[in-house]
Amino acid sequence: MEWKVMSFNLRTETQKDGINNFPNRCRSILEMLRRESPDLIGFQEATDFIRSWLRDSLGDEYFVLGCGRNANYRGESVCIGFRRRMFELISFDTRFFSLEPQRPGSRHAWSDQSACPRMFVHAALSCEGAAGPIHFFNTHLDHRGEIAREVELAQLLQEVSVCGGAFVLTGDFNAEPETAVASMPLQLHGRPVCEPTAELAETFHGYGTIHGCKIDYIYTDGHPVSAYAVEDPHPDGIYLSDHFPICAVIDFA
C-alpha cells in the first residue's frame, strides 16, 4: 500500500515579502496541491488566515486539522491534511515543546529556545486495507537554538517510540543534514527508520535570494519508493513559498 506524503512550509503571510506575500501565492499553491495530490500533508507556518484558507480551498477533499501555537490557540501552526475518502481519524493530539506540553503557548524557557512557542501534532489514522493505524507527526523546530531543537525533537521522538503502528514524521527542522538533529530520528530505538528525502539537495531558498540548503525532512518506518522536491517555476517572480514542497512515496505493505 503506497501513500504519497508531502511536507510544506507555506511561509506565513507578511507584507515584507512584497510580491511574494501569501495572497499573491495562494492560487499557485492550490494548483500545485491539486496537481501533486498527496495523501498526507504536513504544513508549517500556517497562520489563522492560512488555516482558514486551506479548509475552504481543500475541504471537499482533505480534512485540515490544527490550531495556533499561542496561549489562545491562535497564530502560526503545524497543521496537517489527510484525504477524506482514504483515512478515518482515530485520534488527534497537539503538544507543546515544554515541561507542560498540554499548556498552549508554553516553551522550554530554560534552554536556548527562541521566544516563539514550538509544537507538534500527532494524528492516528486508519485506512482500509492497512495492517494497523498510521501515526502521522508534523512539527517545526526552533529557528534559533541548537540545544532547543535537540530537546524538542527528543520530546517528539518519545511519542513516536510508544505509538503502536507505522509512522510518518514531516517537518521543518531548521537544521541541515550534517547536524545531530537531522540524524536523531534515524537512531530511534526499536524501529528501522529511514529518511526517503535524504538525497534532496535543498528545500529552503528564501524566494531564490540565497544558495539553497536542506532543512525540511520526511522520516518513516515504511519502505521508501521515491522522493523529490516539487519544482517551482515562479512565474513573474512569484514563488510557491520560500521553501520547496517535498514529497515522498512510501510503501506500508
**Per-residue confidence band for 139, with pLDDT thresholds at 50, 70 and 90:** very high
Per-residue pLDDT tens digits for 74-128: 999 999 999 999 999 999 999 999 999 999 999 998 889 999 999 999 999 999 8
Q: What is the pLDDT of residue 40?
A: 98
Round to whole Å and give the CA distance between 164 and 168: 12
Domain residues for the domain of 238 are 2-251
Q: Taking residues 232-247, report their average pLDDT.
A: 96
Q: What is the pLDDT of residue 209?
A: 86
3-state SS assignment for residue 132? coil
Round to whole Å and give the CA distance between 78 and 80: 7
Q: What is the pLDDT of residue 130?
A: 80
CB atoms within 10 A of CB 147: 13
Q: How many structural domains compose the chain?
A: 1
- Kindly state the helix (H) or strand (E) to which residue 146 belongs, with its residue range: helix 146-162
The answer to whether residue 211 scores a pLDDT higher than 80 is: no
Give yes or no for a contact between 79 and 69, defined as CB atoms under 8 angstroms apart: no
Q: What is the pLDDT of residue 238?
A: 97
Supply the CATH number for residue 17's domain: 3.60.10.10
Give yes or no for a contact between 49 and 57, defined as CB atoms under 8 angstroms apart: no
Residue 231 DSSP symbol: P
Residues of the chain by 3-state class (helix, strand, coil), percent to 5: 25, 30, 45
User: What average pLDDT does the chain have?
Assistant: 95
**Per-residue confidence band for 5, with pLDDT thresholds at 50, 70 and 90:** very high
- pTM over cut 0.95: yes
Q: Taking residues 16-40, report their average pLDDT.
A: 97
